[in-house]
A = this chain, B = another copy of it.
Amino acid sequence: MATVSPAVTGGPAAGLDPAYRNGLKAALMFGPIASDIAEAERIFDRTLAPHKGPFGPLVEHLRHYRGKRLRPALLLLTAEACGGVAPAHHTLAAAMEMIHTATLVHDDVLDEADVRRHAPTFRAGWGNKVSILLGDMLFTHAFHLTSTVDGRACQITGEVTNRVCAGELRQVTERGNLELSEADYFAVIDGKTAALTECCGRLGALYAGASEEVAAKMASYGRSVGLAFQIADDLLDLTGTEEAAGKTLGTDLEQQKLTLPVIHCLNRLPAGEAAKLRDLIRAGGEGLGARVLQALEKTQSVTYAKRRAEELSRSARQELECLPRGDARSILEAVTEWSIRREK
């Protein structure tokens, strides 16, 4: 296996505002759903435990892929706010995290990424072939987990993963399309990110006995948080530092994958300059990031993307107004802030 280079072991504290990060972590991990998150993690581990025999180091390495627990936290907090967490929620939270992990493992193959969360990716350690099959295995275990709940959960999960995969496929087939529109961009991130957070909101509410109306609002909350989060993540790829992010950055431009600020910039620049910028992106190479950042500055495109993320964050917050006040709702509100202010 590839060893972890010192350059990527700076630790999670590097470059972050510790108060903010710890505050969120505490809120998520030690708030009203701390024991529920722990139970979802036990289910995640127990599900894969039978594979420890033949694939011990692989299963062990999965812990490096477990980061923010955003999806299980959203599902469990929504459940808590909508009437209370039930055993089905723990299983579904584990399944959602497993689906997310499956997409990460495959994403690393697609992005040829070697580092994630300060650790080598499966791809770096075991190669693409093992990564493909491990991702498949995580997908199927997630579906099997869901099937232990009931048929409706399977249907909702099946629908959402259909959307996730279509979004991911669209992203790959749109690579190199330097005429990508904002609408196309939103179609991609709707699938690859927002579909799953939307599903977490819906499942959390439905299995807590919420009405279809409340479940729709929680689904919309999850979708907006997911979109905002992805816009922020894409900004990070352009403007962040690898040390703080704990993963390879700048890959979007390198792979000619246009994200919101770049699309906005290309639309705002005079035609001649936009054509030049497209040529630069097409040519790639050293210094491309800095050149693109200059152009983004000129058209205020980072500001624009931040504003779009803030609008989504606000709209997510509004959906929460139907919920009773309490800790769970407060944390869901905090998540709308965090999703756009995150630095990793």
Contacts and interface: CB of A to CB of B under 8 A. Distances in A.
Number of this chain's copies in the complex: 2
Interface of A: 51, 54-55, 106, 109-110, 128-130, 132-137, 139-141, 143-151, 154-155, 157-159, 161-162, 164-166, 168-170, 172-173
Contacts of A144: 154-155, 158-159, 161-162
Contacts of A168: 133, 136
Contacts of A146: 154, 158
Contact of A109 (B132, B157, B166): B132
Given A51-B166, A55-B173, A143-B158, 15 more contacts: A54-B169, A106-B133, A106-B136, A128-B128, A129-B172, A130-B172, A130-B173, A136-B168, A137-B166, A139-B139, A141-B162, A144-B162, A146-B158, A147-B154, A147-B157
9 nearest A-B pairs in the assembled complex, by CB-CB distance: A144-B158, A147-B154, A140-B161, A151-B151, A137-B165, A154-B154, A147-B155, A133-B169, A147-B158
Contacts of A170: 54
Contacts of A143: 143, 154, 157-158, 161
Contact of A134 (B54, B145, B169): B169
Contacts of A51: 166
Of A106, A147, A157, most buried by chain B (CB within 10 Å of CB) is A147
A136 B159 CA distance: 13
Given A140-B161, A147-B154, A133 B55 contact: no
A147 B136 contact: no
Contacts of A157: 143, 147
5 contacts: A139-B139, A143-B157, A144-B154, A144-B161, A144-B162
Contact of A140 (B129, B137, B139): B139
A140 B145 CA distance: 14
A92 to B, nearest CB: 13
